[in-house]
Amino acid sequence: MDKRWDLKFFMYLLAMALFIYGFSVGGAFAYDVVMAGPKTYEEGTTIGEIPVDGMTRQEAETALRNRVQDWLDVHPVEMLTEDETIVLSEDFLTVGVADTLDSLQNGSATPLSVRFNPSALEEQKDSFGEDVYDNLLLDKLTADIKSQVEVLADQPLTYSVYDYVSAGTESLYKVIAEFEQPIPDGVDVFTYTNELDGLVIEPRTNVSLLEQVSDVPLHQQPALNVVASGLYGAVLKTNFSIIQRHISQHLPSYAQKGREASLDLDEGHDFVFFNPNESLYRIEMEVSEESLSVQIIGYPTSYSYDVLIENERQIEPRTIIQYSDLATGIDVKRDGETGLIYDVYREIYDQDNVAIDSEFITQDYYAPVHKLEERPEPVEPVTSENGGTDQNGSLSDGEAESGGNSESGDEENSDGQNDGNEDGETSGSEGGQESKDPAESSGEGEDDGTSGGSTEGNGGEDTDGTGGIWSPDEGPSKGE
């Protein structure tokens, strides 16, 4: 009996202890639930850059599901090929809201949980093409997509399929740009084309033309400019960025408007461009009797490109008068040539060949060649004591006030306004000419691709060929 009593007493004590313990724990829990209200997330808690502080888990889950669905509705995953846009299946991508809340860190930022289903792409294999699908770098693609989805970024989920295929898959290579550059008579470009043919343009790197031909022992300036113009014409038809480019003082006869590039070895004037793509490209050059064909070969780009010339206007030449005691009449020493100024744009087309955007490249300015005339020295008027003119043909006082030297005051500038003698374009010195200090209009191109002037091929003469006569207000300096 004593032992049974002891056991009952022990069980009684144990039950009382458990009751007291349960009451204390359960009471605290009940107080938190009933008196303190439901648990909410601390200040500074965000999910995918969406603030959820002050929300309960249920409130946060409802808000996140609505926000994620709204975002996915306007952010489909698109893959651009050369010919079409492929919208990936909705089953390919899943955002796990519940999984995100399970891993949430209170008071800090937590990215959304993103999962991928590669098997969902099987149904779209024909759209990609066998060569593309078999070489698709899926891990790289999903990593880039995930980085956008987990923060619900504002950028569209649009990717070029050729940025996500294995490098060097030559079965996918195509000619993405081609340009025919005329070759003037007597110019031999083989020295440079042999050096540049087959040149590989690495992904996301600059290419300097001067560096590529630095090992060529013989530098022929005209031939180098022809090759540079051909390469520039091809580069303009890609998405490559123009880093540095210069032009001549006057548009060469072999160059097309907006497609001329000039190099100067002494001045370091270079042609530099940048490949922004994740894939490499190859340059191929072929020389015929009259032209140079430049091709850029590699993975197709999602868009096509062409050159657009806008705001073109001509700059009329001025007439420069040079007086001489030996001249018997008006002798034209040099005919004038019209100058040119225009803006160069790169037009961007989608897969349907519809223009969707344009990119300003540069403004090209080619100075006019001023007309040069030689004339006899003007006869100085002599006034007689009675106010008339002498027999040498001098004017009287009244005539002198309204007449003047019509030859030196009637020449017009490019805007049709009277130049007069103020700009130094006429003179009265014997056998010579007077002018203001000559001003050069050439300038260097900047790294953003603006044009700059170069003086190659002018034989050391003044850049506008006026023999020292230059008007600084004839137009903008080169490179502006």
| Predicted pLDDT of residue 33 | 53
User: What is the spatial distance between Cα 344 and Cα 257, in angstroms, rounded to a whole number?
Assistant: 9
- Split at pLDDT 50, 70, 90, the class of 263 is very high
Amino acid of residue 207: V
Look over the chain and give the mean of its residue pLDDT values, rounded to a whole number: 80
Please tell me the distance from the alpha carbon of residue 101 to that of residue 60, in angstroms, as a whole number.
Answer: 8
Contact at 8 Å (CB) between 285 and 197? yes
411 vs 224, which has greater pLDDT? 224
Residue 475: left (phi > 0), alpha (psi -120 to 50), or beta? Answer: left
Residues 6+ apart with CB under 8 A from 111: 47, 48, 100, 150, 151
Residues 288-346 pLDDT 10s? 989 999 999 999 998 999 999 999 999 999 999 999 888 888 989 999 999 999 999 99
Check residues 70 and 5 and name the one with the higher pLDDT: 70
- Half-sphere exposure for 365 (CA within 13 Å, toward CB): 20
Within 8 A by CB and 6+ apart from 176, the residues are 237, 238, 281, 296, 297, 298, 299, 300, 301
Strands (E), 299-354: 304-315, 319-324, 331-334, 339-349
The pLDDT value recorded for residue 18 is: 77
Q: Give the residue extent of every domain in the chain.
A: 1-37, 46-164
pLDDT, residue 411, reads: 43
Count CB atoms within 10 A of the CB of residue 22. 10
pLDDT tier at 451, thresholds 50, 70, 90: very low
**Cα separation of 250 and 314, whole Å?**
13
270-297: average pLDDT: 95
Residue 404: what are its φ and ψ, rounded to 5°?
A: 85, -175
pLDDT at 203 over 90: yes
- Higher pLDDT, residue 386 or 372: 372
